[in-house]
Structure 1
Amino acid sequence: MNHQVLLIEDDKELANLISRFLSQNGLDVTTVNTIAQFKTGYSQFHPDIILCDVMLPDGNGFELFPMLKKNFSCPVLFLTALDSDRSQIKGLNLGANDYLIKPIRPEVLLARVNNSLRLSGKGEASKAIGPVKLDTAHRTLICHNQQINLNDDEIRLFTLFFQNYPTPLSRETLFKEIIGREYDGLDRAADLKISRLRRKIRDHGIEGLDIISIRGEGYLLQIPNEPHA
């Protein structure tokens, strides 16, 4: 079954171009042009990913975002002509998975969509390393019969750790893949997300499961009964 894309875009010509290109590359696209249209039919949508314009004729995507996250657990990407740092930071701080500036090459858009799908674990129900199983369908991490319930950020972080294991994740990688921008050497946004996830793991007290810091390299998911750096 193809991944389902919900596109919220008022520029009908652009929406048709995006829909046609993504459809040609194996994605099923449903398009709405206004917030009102979305609200009328949102219960019928079952998206794996949402592309949302910021400037819409009856509101903006930033204001719509809480409703999107309340009703769907999938990644949300802002697609907009607003290219100021302030707008990008606002969108990412709200919790968007990416912020794409128009005009954007179709191939780049497709790559960013596929990357967000990959990081969210869509289409791949579970992954395992040793005794640790990441179940994205049920939004859980299971180890030694103990279960940790995960939110969107935590699923994306664990997916990234699993994909790179046993290589530590650098701050540069975390910023690019999770925060959505290049690391400037000072921003602690990625460290804060790791700190929260590490605290959650330790609160569950699963012996041998942890996130450890590797000096000069970044962060490593420590797996019980598995060697680590």
Structure 2
Amino acid sequence: MISSLVLVVEDDEEIAALLEKYLARAGYRTTKASTGLTALTHVQRLQPDLILLDIGLPDIDGFDLLTKVRGNSTVPVIFLSAMDDSTDKLLGLKLGADDYVTKPFNPQEVVARVGAVLKRTKGIAGSEVIRHDAIEVQLDSHLAIASTEKGRIELPLTATEFRLLVCLISSPFKTFERTSLLDACLPESDALDRTIDTHIANLRRKLTESGQDGYITTVRGIGYRFARSTGV
């Protein structure tokens, strides 16, 4: 089996080399980029399985780079940042990042985060197809599809968003607490409960953009449930 390819986007050569060393020890293939432009080229040509993305790049802000990547790819992304600020973390997650690691970090922790995110991305096995109204989730092919008047539309979900959708759609009408969704979708992360709100907002927006409004209902003070609202 071919090992997963991790793209390390980091302009500090020592940090990049250290990450590549530890990732290689863990059995991953790696490639690196020191600029955002090079990273975009690698994403298009190499189609990595995961990106470790430094926010402070010399030519483009990491947040802007992630926005460009999300324009045509759902590849999992873990931010690397010297900024330990909850606002920056939430912004990264809102833009589609799957996890966030603050510098200075233990490289073994980064490798563990990489493994956890890849497991979430590829670990949903089986040939089962789950449907609720106009939404369909194909577990084996990792696809989420919305049926519309114009046909079937594939939803461009990140790994975490897909995991959330699987959790919600598997038990429609059930109210999930934020903590239970966090445990199900980001079990190895140190993210706060409110981080789920950001991922839910992104998932809800993508459903709305496909013409599927009202599926995710906010239960005040508790969390969320998946059921199309009455009259929608």
TM-score between the two structures when normalised by the length of structure 1: 0.69
Describe the superposition over 1:126-167 as per-residue Cα deviations: whole angstroms up to 9, x where unpaired.
552778762463623599xx96633214423234458999x9
The alignment yields a C-alpha RMSD, in angstroms, of: 4.1
Q: Which residue of 1 aligns with 2:230?
A: none
Cα separation, 2, equivalents of 1:140 and 1:39: 25
Instruction: Give the unaligned 5+ runs of structure 2.
Output: 228-232
| Pairwise CA distance, 1:73 | 1.9
1:27-176 alignment runs, 5 A limit: 27-119=28-120, 121-122=121-122, 126-128=126-128, 134-135=138-139, 137=141, 139-140=143-144, 149-153=154-158, 154-160=161-167, 169-175=176-182
8 Å CA contact 1:136, 1:155 repeated in 2: no
In structure 2, the CA distance between the partners of 1:163 and 1:67, relative to structure 1 (3 Å rule), is: same
8 Å CA contact 1:21, 1:106 repeated in 2: yes
8 Å CA contact 2:5, 2:28 repeated in 1: yes
The answer to whether residue 27 in structure 2 is matched with residue 26 in structure 1 is yes
2:193 pairs, out of 165, 183, 188, with: 183
Letter in 1 for 2:75: C
Letter in 1 for 2:141: A
Cα separation, 2, equivalents of 1:184 and 1:140: 24
| Pairwise CA distance, 1:172 | 1.4
| Pairwise CA distance, 1:122 | 2.7
- The farther-off stretch of 76-85 and 210-219 is 210-219
The number of equivalent residue pairs is 213
| Pairwise CA distance, 1:59 | 2.4
Q: Which residue of 1 aligns with 2:16?
A: 15
Describe the superposition over 1:169-193 as per-residue Cα deviations: whole angstroms up to 9, x where unpaired.
43113346469721259x8446545
| Pairwise CA distance, 1:104 | 1.7
Identity %: 29
Secondary structure at the counterpart of residue 31 of structure 2: strand
